[in-house]
Amino acid sequence: MATTPTGLCASCVHQRVVGNTRGSTFSMCGLAKADGRYPKYPRLPVLECPGHVRREQGTIEGPPSR
């Protein structure tokens, strides 16, 4: 499966990878729930973001395994 570079989102604690029934995946920003300045699904790659908080290495959020 090919992946799209997500820029800062790939290392951010607020990112959630969401999948659909057709096999596509999307990078969702968790900050969008509480703060309208952040898009729910930002255009990728994100190069600058004031809400970026680096995730600890080795932890990845993503869709559940089937």
Beta strand spans in 1-66 (E): 15-19, 25-29
Can you tell me the distance from the alpha carbon of 3 to that of 12, in angstroms, rounded to the nearest whole number? 17
Q: What is the pLDDT of residue 61?
A: 55
Residue 16 and residue 25 in contact, taking contact as beta carbons nearer than 8 Å: no
Task: Answer yes or no: is pLDDT of 1 > 50.
Answer: no
Task: Answer yes or no: is pLDDT of 60 > 90.
Answer: no
Q: What pLDDT, in 10s, does the model give residues 5-48?
A: 779 999 999 999 999 999 999 999 999 999 999 999 999 999 99
* H/E segment holding residue 43: none
Q: What is the pLDDT of residue 58?
A: 56
Can you tell me the distance from the alpha carbon of 1 to that of 38, in angstroms, rounded to the nearest whole number? 28
